[in-house]
Structure 1
Amino acid sequence: MPNLDAWAPRVLSLLRIITALLFLQHGLMKLFGFPGPQEGAPDPLPPLLIAAAWLEIVGGGLVAIGLFTRPVAFVLSGMMAVAYFVAHAPANFYPALNHGEPAILYCFVFLYLVVAGGGIWSVDALVRKRP
């Protein structure tokens, strides 16, 4: 079995990029209906969902390119914890029944990025290399 440890920094960057792009998509759906309208989103959006959408777009974009990864991921992790307990948990105790699994996964992937950083393919890594 080949040593996979050498791939860990690259796969961390891939996890960050893919997660952020998927997350960003939720904000685009809420605000702009792209690539389609967000299912179940009220029209017009209440201020809390507008704020969440902008956090998803701006935060998702910053995490995707790996700029300020740790502090932005911290904010997004907290946002997803709040989203779970406000929007999903009241409906049912079980995440599989309250449709909260994505919120939980985003929360913990972003929490991991707070600790791990953006990986080698990030603007943060480029900035660190400058003398």
Structure 2
Amino acid sequence: MKLASLFPAPPSKTASVGLLLLRVVSGVAFMMHGWGKIQDPFNWMGPQAPTPGFLQALAALSEFGGGLAWVLGALVPLASFGIFCTMAFATFFHAVVRGDPFVSKGAGGSYEPALLYLVVAVVMLTVGPGLYSVDAWLRKRLARS
């Protein structure tokens, strides 16, 4: 595996500030969404859930662990892939299976948050975490070796 595929070259300083803000805010939100799930990762959907426990655990890990990875800017491609998969499923579930609207007009669900996080994951996968991240630091250190 090439170094560039694991740690993409960071964009400009200005763009990196934007990515830092996006990563930290989205990452903290994801950690908050995943906190309750990570407490009981194999059964957070309840005993009658049609989703197998190992898939529930993957979702809990991608939300809490992926959020932490985004905050730190560490292993962002891997974390983003996990979040992408989780949010693709959530978007499909809310939009197609449940038929929720894009934006909720009341107490019902919507697929807006899942789709928004899915798009953030695509940005992190394609652009990377930016200069102000553990990944950029590692890239620089490994390039010297």
Pair in the same fold by TM > 0.5: yes
CA contact (8 A) 1:25 1:57 kept: yes
CA contact (8 A) 1:89 1:100 kept: no
**C-alpha displacement at 1:89, in angstroms?**
2.7
- Considering Cα pairs closer than 8 Å and 6+ residues apart, tell me whether 1 or 2 has the greater RCO: 2
Q: Which amino acid aligns with 2:72?
A: I
**C-alpha displacement at 1:108, in angstroms?**
0.4
Number of positions where the alignment pairs a residue of Structure 1 with one of Structure 2 = 120
Q: Aligned equivalents of 1:108 and 1:81: distance in 2?
A: 10
Q: Aligned equivalents of 2:85 and 2:37: distance in 1?
A: 19
Once structures 1 and 2 are overlaid, which stretch shifts more, 82-91 or 61-70? 82-91
| Identical columns (%) | 31
Residues 81-110 of structure 1, C-alpha deviation per residue, up to 9 Å, x if partnerless? 111112443222632244110000000011
**TM-score between the two structures when normalised by the length of structure 1:** 0.77
Matches within 5 A, 1:26-37: 26-32=33-39
**TM-score between the two structures when normalised by the length of structure 2:** 0.71
Runs of 4+ displaced beyond 6 Å = none
The correspondence for 2:124, drawn from 99, 113, 122, is: 113
CA contact (8 A) 1:66 1:123 kept: yes
What is the RMSD of the two structures over their aligned residues, measured on CA atoms?
2.3
Any unmatched runs of 5+ in structure 2? 1-11
Q: State the match for 2:73 in structure 1.
A: 66
Q: State the match for 2:87 in structure 1.
A: 80
Q: Aligned equivalents of 2:118 and 2:126: distance in 1?
A: 13
Any unmatched runs of 5+ in structure 1? 34-40
